[in-house]
Amino acid sequence: MSDVDDKVKPLRDPARRGFLGKAGGLAAAVGGLAASSAANASIAQDQAPAALAAKNGIEPFWGVHQGGITTPQQEHTYFAAFDLVTAKRADVIALLNAWTEAASRLTRGDTAAALGDNPEAAPGDSGDALGLPPSRLTITFGFGPGLFSSNGVDRYGLAARRPAALVDLPRFNGDQLVPEKTGGDLCIQACANDAQVAFHAVRQLARLAYGTAVIKWVQTGFQSNPAGGGTPRNLMGFKDGTNNPSQRDPKLMDQFVWAGDEGPAWMKNGTYTVVRRIRITLEHWDKMEVGFQEQVVGRHKYTGAPLGKHKEFDVADLDAKDADGNSIVPDNAHMRLSAAQTNGGAQILRRGYSYNDGANFYIERWPPWRQEMEYDAGLFFVAHQRDPRTGFIKINHNLAVGDIMNQFITHVGSGIFACPPGARAGSFIGAGLFEGLMT
């Protein structure tokens, strides 16, 4: 069976990519991938099958770690934060079970649940992704502070199990956080190479949460990778992520990203994720001299090289001076203030996306205080780390106080989440948190 077949065959419980929804095992899913790839290749004959398979393929769901953290970055994201509305721990457990099962299906290109054949019942999936490939969908779940206590109330008997590293983020200088883009008791980040697949996934999961959790805020994002490979560019036109620790280096990931034995056992091999919705005043930025832009960032715009260097991955010389004794990389440049060397070796894994949510009326918060219609666009910053206290909080404190880029960016949304380790098939995401509390 192929995707092409789906287009002519009456829908009767079809799997998204053309094999029966009842096929639930990993082996079946892998088999499905091959069939799907072949079908797509026949449709898009001008695309190399291998490349297409890589773009459309399946990312594993079950495993030691959740997907979507060190997974090579897909091109689209759909992030949703939820507030829990139930008073019962059992409801939370049931939701996480349902989410885990549905996510495992969705990531392999299946429907969230079997569609069913009862014409008087709502189908098990909205159906808008039928026929679409898995698109390397990953679904990453996180627990916000509100799962452990909300307004001082320990709703689910979990307060004592809150990891010390899951701190409430402090207020940073310049923060203009709005409640409708901040916080959340739970979060889901779907990443995929197809925006529709990512939204479809979160939509199905949100539907499963009815009565237990409600959406608090969402954010979409995009990040197209250069055709020739390499570091993608953000909306400021600069390469973003050059200084990231390599996701391909397990030792670095263990050192900076994955929680170890220092915290609760249920978080081991998980990570702590900070998200920030950072609006960039693109109109203002676009008028700046490129030389000034480079001084603000601390890098050459087109090569991505640190100022004073020639290649993107040349090591920045933060001690270098010009003939007058002035720093080559300015003291208040973004790259300097965020560099590991400036932060006692602190590193985080940034996995952000650009966003563009149209335009709104804004009053700029720097002279000369323009008041006009401007893009609501910027960076949906996503950073994973072993401990936010020595990661994002430490680094962002420096940036919030001294970064000259603050004249162009404003943090308007925020969230912090403990993303537990991956799940074994038959278990559910975050099961360890509830050990001994399953009733």
Rounded distance between C-alpha atoms, residue 6 and residue 289, angstroms: 54
Binding mask 172-191 for another protein (x = CB under 8 A): -xxxx---------------
CB of 146 to another protein, least distance (A): 23
Stretch of residues binding another protein (CB under 8 A), selected from 94-102, 214-222, 266-274, 401-409: 401-409
Binding mask 269-308 for another protein (x = CB under 8 A): ---------------x--xxx-xx--xx------------
Q: Is 168 in the site for another protein (CB under 8 A)?
A: no
Give the burial string for 148-185 (b: 16+ CB within 10 Å, else e).
Answer: bebeeeebbebeebbbebbeebeebebbebeeebbbbb
- The three-state secondary structure class of 22 is coil
CA dist list (Å): 224 to 56, 77, 261, 274, 305: 15, 11, 36, 22, 20
Q: Is 224 in the site for another protein (CB under 8 A)?
A: no
Residue closer to another protein, measured from CB, 27 or 369:
369
By CB under 8 A, name the one of 5, 117, 154, 331 that touches another protein.
Answer: 331
Residue closer to another protein, measured from CB, 16 or 411:
411
CB-based contact 101:76 (threshold 8 Å): no
Stretch of residues binding another protein (CB under 8 A), selected from 22-30, 87-95, 202-210, 324-332: 324-332
Q: Is 406 in the site for another protein (CB under 8 A)?
A: yes
Binding mask 344-363 for another protein (x = CB under 8 A): -------------------x
By CB under 8 A, name the one of 366, 424, 425, 437 that touches another protein.
Answer: 366
State which amino acid sits at residue 117.
Answer: D
Query: What stretch of H or E contains 51?
Result: helix 49-56
- Cα 105 to its chain centre, rounded Å, is 20
CA dist list (Å): 329 to 4, 9, 285, 287, 315: 56, 62, 19, 22, 12
Q: Is 402 in the site for another protein (CB under 8 A)?
A: yes
Q: Is 342 in the site for another protein (CB under 8 A)?
A: no
370-389 residues in contact with another protein (CB under 8 A) are: 370-371
Task: Give the number of other Cβ atoms within 10 Å of residue 418's Cβ.
Answer: 28
CB of 282 to another protein, least distance (A): 14
Token pair 């106080």 is at which residue? 401
Residue closer to another protein, measured from CB, 42 or 371:
371
Residue closer to another protein, measured from CB, 110 or 403:
403
> Is residue 439 exposed (0-12), middle (13-18) or buried (19+ Cβ within 10 Å)?
exposed
Residue closer to another protein, measured from CB, 140 or 406:
406
Query: What stretch of H or E contains 147?
Result: helix 145-148
Write phi, then psi, for 59 (nearest 5 degrees). -100, 140
Q: Is 238 in the site for another protein (CB under 8 A)?
A: no
Q: Is 127 in the site for another protein (CB under 8 A)?
A: no
What is the torsional sign of CA 69, 71, 73, 75? negative
CB of 235 to another protein, least distance (A): 17
CB-based contact 136:192 (threshold 8 Å): yes
By CB under 8 A, name the one of 42, 326, 341, 360 that touches another protein.
Answer: 326
By CB under 8 A, name the one of 327, 343, 385, 414 that touches another protein.
Answer: 327
Q: What angle do CA 169, 175, 178 make, to 5 degrees?
A: 85
Contact footprint for another protein (CB under 8 A): 171, 173-176, 284, 287-289, 291-292, 295-296, 321-322, 324-327, 330-333, 363, 365-371, 401-402, 404, 406-408
